[in-house]
Chain A
Amino acid sequence: MEAAFLVKGLRSAFAGPFELDLGAGACAAITGPSGSGKSLFLRMIADLDPNQGNVWLNGKERASMPAPAWRKQAIYVSAESGWWADRVIEHFATGSQSDAATLAARLGLRDNVLNAPVSQLSTGEKQRLSLARALLLNPRVLLLDEPTGSLDEESVTRVEAVLQERMANGTSILLVTHDPKQAARLGSQHYHMMAGHLVTA
């Protein structure tokens, strides 16, 4: 089978080299101790940190497209979400606001959360909203860094249901998680990160 997402010799001064081969709609679950390089790996794929090596998506190489175009197809959702305006709604594109409301409801967020000021959001709400922000752009690949780290059980179930649905539609996921059960539930490939190296689990 031709891999949809292929990583070869990806490395930086701090981690790697990494090899990865992920089919369309597959999920690579990565576990490992804090500071072992899991986030660095996702950041390198998204080209947020300097790195060498090659990444292909559906046969197209990363280096052949401008960085913003690449990042839009392989969206990195960090564990610590970032906000640049006062209100939640301002972080969503103008055309996507009704879709945003629907998705927010599916993720178990309170009504009207989109009109709230960012300063009033809980950590769990921020985490789900930053995931929603990425999902609405329909990326081919999702690079998720502990997407359910601060969520209660019910919210975790809701987030996972949305992710499963995306995978069924062909979106590939790289999932960094501290929860081995979540890795087992979502992952079709399992890896363990140890001191900047990826080992098959």
Chain B
Amino acid sequence: MTPILLTPFDISIAASLIILDAALSIWLGIRLHRQLAIAAARMVVQLVAIGYVLKFAFSLDNPLATLLLVIVMVLVAAREVAARPERRFKGNSNLVIGAISVGFATFVTAILALTTAIRPQPWFDPHYAIPLAGIILGNVLNAASLSLDSLLGSVRRERPAIEARLSLGESYREATAPLVREAIRRGLLPIINQMSAAGIVTLPGIMTGQILAGLDPLEAVKYQILLMFLLSGGSGLSALAASYLAAWRLTDERQRLRLDRLA
């Protein structure tokens, strides 16, 4: 089965819906038409640009170029993880924690999938590696930023409890264990919701895309199931890494609670 290819004309018909939105905004005085136009234009420019980047990366077909692109994607994701929490570390610890947790989780799950389940030839074929890394990154970023936000918020709120435990001779690890657990749990909630709602509340995007592109629904379902497993594994790893790294950064060799390291 060949996919039905879209022509610029097909897309411009759909674009008229944006014009309809804008007209509604002007008519009802919602004053969103400017933002709407900017967002639509940004979306088109960004997606076309990434289309060319992908096409270029595919044509290079060079493992090093693929790796470089994935690293850039990881760094952008790390910046998002670092920027999200209300509480931040002084200096660039947020960024380092974001990069390590997101990068680690993405590389582990993507390489596992590419070498065992999907198995393109070679396994680092950019047609598979880059989109797969991208979709894992999106989820892993979510998990890491929720965990980091939870930990940094709760550690400040629970300071008297943590310090009371430390004063009674408990280790830093024991004193902060409930907070680390809660942070990991927070990071895992979105993927659990996604898995429970998959197919009933939402038709996942990848599966929809593959069905639209002409793939048999059951084959598309298999891909989606594989992907959900990958995403939950990735979310778990990044939530774990972000929570433990942040907890570790908040203590020192004398097992103190170092809130002075937060901005």
Contacts and interface: CB of A to CB of B under 8 A. Distances in A.
A48 B166 contact: yes
A81 B175 CA distance: 15
Nearest to B179: A84
Nearest to B167: A76
**Interface range on chain A (Cβ under 8 Å from partner):** 20 to 34
Interface in B155-206: 158-171, 175, 178
A140 B258 CA distance: 26
Nearest to A71: B169
B161 A82 contact: yes
A75 interface: yes
Contacts of A46: 167
B169 A83 contact: no
B252 interface: yes
Nearest to B252: A50
A133 interface: yes
Interface of A: 46-50, 66-69, 71-72, 75-78, 80-84, 130, 133-134, 137
Contacts of B162: 82, 84
A69 B170 CA distance: 8
Contact of A78 (B167, B170, B255): B167
Given A71-B169, A78-B160, 15 more contacts: A46-B167, A50-B258, A67-B256, A68-B171, A71-B166, A71-B168, A72-B168, A75-B169, A82-B164, A83-B160, A83-B164, A84-B161, A84-B164, A84-B175, A84-B178
B90 to A, nearest CB: 14
B257 to A, nearest CB: 7
Q: Which of A49, A75, A130, A137 has the most CB of B within 10 A?
A: A49
Contacts of B158: 82, 84
A75 B168 contact: yes
Nearest to A69: B169
B168 A134 contact: yes
A71 B175 CA distance: 13
A68 B160 contact: no
A81 B168 contact: no
B155 to A, nearest CB: 13
Interface in B217-263: 252, 254-258, 260
Ranked nearest first, the 8 interchain pairs of A and B with the lowest CB-CB distance are: A72-B169, A82-B164, A82-B160, A82-B161, A84-B161, A67-B254, A76-B167, A67-B255
B124 to A, nearest CB: 46
Contacts of A76: 167
B255 A137 contact: no
A68 B161 contact: no
Interface in B59-111: none
16 contacts: A68-B170, A68-B255, A71-B166, A71-B169, A72-B168, A72-B169, A75-B169, A76-B167, A78-B160, A81-B160, A82-B158, A84-B158, A84-B162, A84-B175, A130-B164, A133-B168
Contacts of A78: 160, 163-164, 167
Nearest to A83: B161
Given A68-B255, A80-B160, A82-B161, A48 B169 contact: no
A106 B252 CA distance: 39
A68 B164 contact: no
A137 B170 CA distance: 12
Contacts of B175: 84
